[in-house]
Amino acid sequence: MRYSKSKRLVAIALTVIMLISFTACKSSSEIDSIPKSPIGEKDTFKVVDQSGREVEIKNNVKSIAIAYGIPTNFILALGKGDNIVAISSSNNMYTAICPSLAHAGTVGKGRVDLEAMAKLNPDVFIHRGTDIETLESVSALGIPTIGISPESTEDILETIRLLGKALGAEQRAAELVDYYNKKAEFARSITSSIPNEKRYTAIVMGSEIGKVSSGKMLQSYLIETAGGINLAKTIDSTELWPVVGAEKIFQWNPDFIFLTNSSASKYNAEDLMTDPAWSELNAVKNNRVLMVPSDMDSWEFPGLGTLLGFLWMLQQMYPELYSEEQFLSEVDAFYNMAYGITFSRDFLGY
């Protein structure tokens, strides 16, 4: 009996020794490869997007798909361009900032190719916040979808914060928001002493003559931040570019007419400047019908570049307070801060 008990004790002891030896023989690389998660830390987190949807995203997003243009400049400014694996369209500026975009695939342009999306299976899909149908269709594939709606300056800053959190770049997002706000404060400070009755009046006209930017739109903010008065501010409409018609514009008689820089535009500044019907307007008589720059990176298109939009308007309206030289310096400073690169005036097209 004692002998059997001793054998059992010896066997147990040998087993323990073998287990210890087995563990000790595992290389450090094998041990390090065992997944470790801090106690209480989850693999995913949740955000509320700009369409009001709660979205669960995994930590450390590695692949991003987009099917319309607006998200690109935000993602690049956040330093996450190399994570874009599908893009709707690119241009020479974007590929200069992030060469890997030249090799990015596609999951559609505007309309999403769900089959291509399912095959690509990105970590996150960023899309237009108003296109709930597409957001939900992609979500049904098991792909987290974030809707953005940067249609005002407040929304632009919220888009930066939202994508910064979703893409693991919150500190960078905070830097961009701070930079934008400081430039807006700077612009307002330059014209702060100008009384309302001496401020220039202006409108931003859309892709068709008679369409204008109402007070609910981003372009109205650009005019006002630059020290101007948007004559179309009080237009009450749910349309993005409400139609007021040429007669209303003649009644307003704006000092400046800024034109949206859109490939969909059915007219240009020269058309207005040479049309006898428009010849008596202050803006036409004083050569103040101007296309908002730039050709490569529209400064009135929702994004960080809108800070150049209001600084450009400021320089056009009040050159005695803010010179062209100061503005050109600001252009270089912006692109260097936002994307780590500068561009020539000819390249940008302004």
The ranges assigned to domains in the chain are 44-175, 192-348
- What confidence score (pLDDT) does residue 41 get? 61
28 — pLDDT class (breaks 50, 70, 90) = very low
Q: Taking residues 235-240, report their average pLDDT.
A: 86
Distance CA 261, CA 298 (A): 7
42 — pLDDT class (breaks 50, 70, 90) = confident
- φ, ψ dihedrals at 161, nearest 5°: -65, -45
51 — pLDDT class (breaks 50, 70, 90) = very high
Q: What percent of the chain has pLDDT over 90?
A: 83
At residue 39, does pLDDT exceed 70? Answer: no
Lowest mean per-residue pLDDT among 28-32, 41-45, 156-160, 344-348: 28-32
- Which carries the bigger pLDDT value, residue 38 or residue 79? 79
- What confidence score (pLDDT) does residue 342 get? 97
Q: How far from each other are the two terminal CA atoms of the chain, in whole angstroms?
A: 99
- What confidence score (pLDDT) does residue 333 get? 98
264 — pLDDT class (breaks 50, 70, 90) = confident
Q: pLDDT tens across 82-131, in order?
A: 999 999 988 999 999 999 999 999 999 989 999 999 999 999 999 999 99
Q: Please determine whether the domains at 44-175 and 192-348 fall in the same fold group of CATH.
A: yes
* Residue in the structure block whose two tokens are 């014209």: 191
Lowest mean per-residue pLDDT among 137-141, 238-242, 335-339: 238-242
What's the chain's average pLDDT? 89
CATH number, domain 192-348, options 3.40.50.150, 3.40.50.1820, 3.20.20.70, 3.40.50.1980: 3.40.50.1980
Q: Taking residues 151-175, report their average pLDDT.
A: 96
Fold of 44-175: Rossmann fold (3.40.50)
Distance CA 160, CA 307 (A): 14
Q: Taking residues 152-158, report their average pLDDT.
A: 94
Q: How far is CA 188 from CA 7, 256, 327, in A?
A: 90, 18, 15
Sheet holding 64-66, edge to edge: 84-86, 64-66, 124-128, 145-148
User: Helices (DSSP H) in 192-305: which residue ranges?
Assistant: 218-225, 245-252, 269-273, 282-285
15 — pLDDT class (breaks 50, 70, 90) = very low
156 — pLDDT class (breaks 50, 70, 90) = very high
Contacts of 153 (CB under 8 A, 6+ apart): 180, 184, 218, 221, 225, 306
Best-predicted range by mean pLDDT among 32-36, 79-83, 234-238? 79-83
Q: Which amino acid is at 65?
A: A
Q: Taking residues 1-10, report their average pLDDT.
A: 44
Q: Are 123 and 61 in contact (CB under 8 A)?
A: yes
* Residue in the structure block whose two tokens are 């720059």: 293
3-state helix, strand, coil in the chain (%, to 5): 45, 10, 40
At residue 80, does pLDDT exceed 60? Answer: yes
Q: Which amino acid is at 276?
A: P
> Token pair of 38, please?
């801090």
Distance CA 164, CA 176 (A): 10
Q: pLDDT tens across 165-222, in order?
A: 999 999 999 999 999 999 999 999 999 999 999 999 999 999 999 999 999 899 999 9
- What confidence score (pLDDT) does residue 175 get? 98
